Amino acid sequence: MNLRVSLLASVVLTWLGGHSVVARADTWSLPSTLDDSNTNVSFVVDSTWHTINGTTKDLDGSIGLSDKNDPLSIMVDLKIKVKTFDTDWDSRDDKLQECMASETYPVVTFVSRRLSQSCKPSVIDITGRCTGTLTGVITMRDISKEAELPVSIVKDGNFYKISGSIPLQWADYNIEDPSILIAKLDPTVTISYQTKVPLKRS
């Protein structure tokens, strides 16, 4: 009798597990567009004199699922125009444009493939938040590199607020040192982002 109960429970749990993936995938309201109204990408780098805070604008992208039944198959396709990078100093901005060869390589892109298991919607529904990684590829200039983008997701009202930051080395992306004569820049730049995705309405 105990064996029969155990087997029955196993079948039920397996059935529920298989169907919960579909239900949980519907938790994200996707696909969704990414632009300046819901997404912000900035960067910070130390220099000889002070910390430089840079901004971007005219973002263009989308976020969706590569498998509608898998809530972790997050596909982000984000493009950032290099010419919109602004460090609040024209000479430094011109040097940065030159080092990033903005005429030849006008955009920086991030294309993701998958969200880590720790950020399943079922986890967020229970705890209200999660931390994990978004695996994908960052492309700057003529270099594309695999990256695990740290991600924090917080359930807030009708949205999931998503944020994170990642340190990058200029040299890893074939970018010459963008320092100008009187202000040496650190070889590491930290990229930060914030975006939000609406909850699926029942």
Closest by CA to 56, choosing from 31, 33, 34, 32, is: 34
Q: Where are the domains of the chain?
A: 2-198
Q: What is the reported pTM?
A: 0.84
Residue with tokens 């991600």: 151
Note the pLDDT tens digit of each residue in 119-177.
998 889 899 999 999 999 999 999 999 999 999 999 998 899 999 999 999 999 999 98
Read off the pLDDT of each residue in 88-98 and give the average, rounded to a whole number: 91
Pick the CATH number of 2-198 from 1.10.287.610, 3.40.50.300, 2.40.128.110, 2.60.40.770: 2.40.128.110
Residues 6+ positions from 97 with CB-CB distance below 8 Å: 82, 83, 85
| pLDDT score, position 201 | 64
Read off the pLDDT of each residue in 110-122 and give the average, rounded to a whole number: 94
| pLDDT score, position 96 | 92
| pLDDT score, position 181 | 61
Task: Count CB neighbours of 21 within 10 A.
Answer: 16
Token readout for 49 is 């004199």
86 band by pLDDT with thresholds 50, 70 and 90: very high
pLDDT of 1 over the 60 cut: no
